[in-house]
Structure 1
């Protein structure tokens, strides 16, 4: 069951803040004496996609099972960005996700259409914004509690050819999920550190349930830059007003962080 991975990452996040508290080194984002810290990380996500989706309102739901190569083949554009700000013990975190795909195939189950030749464009945008408080802070480890929201926007557009005539059909839907989360950081030595983030939300306010979990290993290239590599999972289950988007994305991440 995929929620077992969520529990495992949460346990790892908590353990990272309590193991080997000696050997003080400067924090990856900044030492506790610094009042301000900024970290910006654009990253690539090598993810597959599985789940269930209805591209149009009250259309039959379609099962989705795509590997990364399948996603890459239909990809038109993608962007991922994580930003972290801190002032004293108050923190602000944002994470942005944008994916635009086009698939060329026979499309069935559209409103008033049984089957048609054509292409399907799908655009997914998700933005998370959370504020919080650093309730544990040492020279080697930190733990932040977070609360905020995620905004989801999904748009589908079909370009169809039926009996020699071109037709277009477009729909979009969006929702907001309340979110709570934790961020844990632990430094092994002056160059090497690890970071875990987990966020859970939805609670039937927007989606039934959604979560994000990321675990990374970070290597400092200089005082201001570091390489980040790890694994990320995102899961959302939205079912309202004839719209269905129940998706699970997971795979390796690779990023470059700039911090000040």
Structure 2
């Protein structure tokens, strides 16, 4: 299924609105403002999936309402990674998310059906850091989240099998706050919102993590993340969210 989102993505990037998804990466020690510092985080997200997916107007609607244990049963593959670079008050971020799940069930009036859903997202970011007080920093960010959603709905009895895809980009505004609680512990809160009919109708995300400094180069994080997207274009309809606990490990360099 063709989409015109690549042109929109180029214009968004050209405008310099690049947004954040790396809420897991805790702030490191202060560095020389003229020097670059960076870190990479690999994390797991035990997200329960809920929502509705209809690839075409004539296709059946497949509903998801899975707990964390259901997701583990249905999940075929998953990969999550974030990266951060900072120079003075300039912050650059990147977030990659990949998940693939499959399930079987029934669609009205009780006909056997199966479905697969593969979701990829990349959130790129640039923003300015403000120092609210000695122990707290605020990052004001703007930018884009890029989506690639591939689906498959098969109803053998009805002879229906469709496998469309949607590729689009959403402009996003975000706020990221980090508070140091002690020399070892910090708390991070993140929220963004976007879409506004450009790519999806609406998307938003929030996360809170507690971060523990093991050493100057190694951190552990744990928290909660929620991601929502409502996409409806050219007859394809996806309205869903993923929410659940997350854990991560960060290497700083």
Q: So what's the TM-score if we normalise by structure 2?
A: 0.80
Which residues of structure 1 form unaligned runs of 5+?
A: 1-26
1:126 equivalent to 2:125? Answer no
Residue from 174, 177, 194 that aligns with 2:170: 177
Shift of 1:174: 1.8
1:230 equivalent to 2:223? Answer yes
Q: Residue in 2 aligned with 1:40? A: 40
Q: Residue in 2 aligned with 1:28? A: 27
Residue from 189, 192, 203 that aligns with 2:185: 192
Cα gap change, 1:191 to 1:51, in 2 (>3 Å): same
1:207 equivalent to 2:200? Answer yes
* Distance in 1 of aligned mates of 2:127 and 2:207: 18
1:36-63 residue CA offsets vs partner (Å, 9 max, x unmatched): 2212111111111122221445424333
1:56-67 to 2 correspondences below 5 Å: 56-67=56-67
SS at match of 1:221: strand
Q: Residue in 2 aligned with 1:136? A: 131
1:18-167 to 2 correspondences below 5 Å: 28-31=27-30, 33-34=32-33, 35-106=35-106, 108=107, 119-136=114-131, 140-158=135-153, 161=156
* Residues 152, 164 of structure 2: 8 Å contact kept: yes
61-70 vs 126-135, which moves further:
61-70
* Distance in 2 of aligned mates of 1:95 and 1:207: 19
* Residues 56, 156 of structure 1: 8 Å contact kept: no
1:89-128 residue CA offsets vs partner (Å, 9 max, x unmatched): 111111111110122345x58xxxx997564322111111
Count of aligned pairs between the two proteins: 227
Larger Rg: 1
1:259 equivalent to 2:247? Answer no
Q: CA RMSD in A?
A: 2.5
1:134-188 residue CA offsets vs partner (Å, 9 max, x unmatched): 132765221111111011111123566559xx98542111211100101111111
* Residues 62, 115 of structure 2: 8 Å contact kept: no
Q: So what's the TM-score if we normalise by structure 1?
A: 0.78
